[in-house]
Amino acid sequence: MPDVHEFSIADALATQVLRHVPAHGRVHEVEIRVGALRGLEPAAMEMCWDAVTHDTPLAGSVLVMDIRPWSLTCPTCGRVWESPVPFADCTCGEVAPRPTATDELDLVSMTVEDEDGDEDEGPVAAATPDGGAEAGERAS
Ligand SMILES: [Zn+2]
């Protein structure tokens, strides 16, 4: 069984995306932006995405994750840099830079193929003529 953390996030995300899928539309790709504080494991997230989208118009779609890195600030020399991990030594020898990160989880875009086979890629807002755009909504 996949990790519950990823599963609940994938489930909430799929519910959000499904509200934006036009009738007869078929989703190819869904892109999200995730802050490092979310601690998402991409492989687990993909597995959960496949599980929760099974038997929905999202089945077979690819989940693209843009994971925002940690920002490390060195208390000794003041250097600030981005890192995929929260703990790393600074080049000055400081072993305890302060890690900061965001906890965002935003739906960035989705690629939908309509009945004619045309692809329409763009911001989520463009796919919601009813004005129900919620691209900035937290999926949790
Ligand atoms: Zn330093």
101 CA from centroid of ligand 1 (Å): 18
pLDDT given at position 124: 55
Q: What pLDDT digit, counting tens, does each position of 11-46 carry? A: 999 999 999 888 888 899 999 999 999 989 999 999
- The DSSP string of 54-93 is TTSTTTTPEEEEEEEPEEEE-TTT--EEEESSS----TTS
Confirm whether pTM is higher than 0.85.
no
73 CA from centroid of ligand 1 (Å): 8
pLDDT given at position 96: 96
22 CA from centroid of ligand 1 (Å): 51
86 CA from centroid of ligand 1 (Å): 15
71 CA from centroid of ligand 1 (Å): 13
CATH placement of domain 4-69+103-127 = 3.30.2320.50
Please report, for the chain, the start and end positions of each structural domain, with discontinuous segments joined by +: 4-69+103-127
pLDDT given at position 127: 46
**Residue 110 to residue 126: CA distance in whole angstroms:** 10
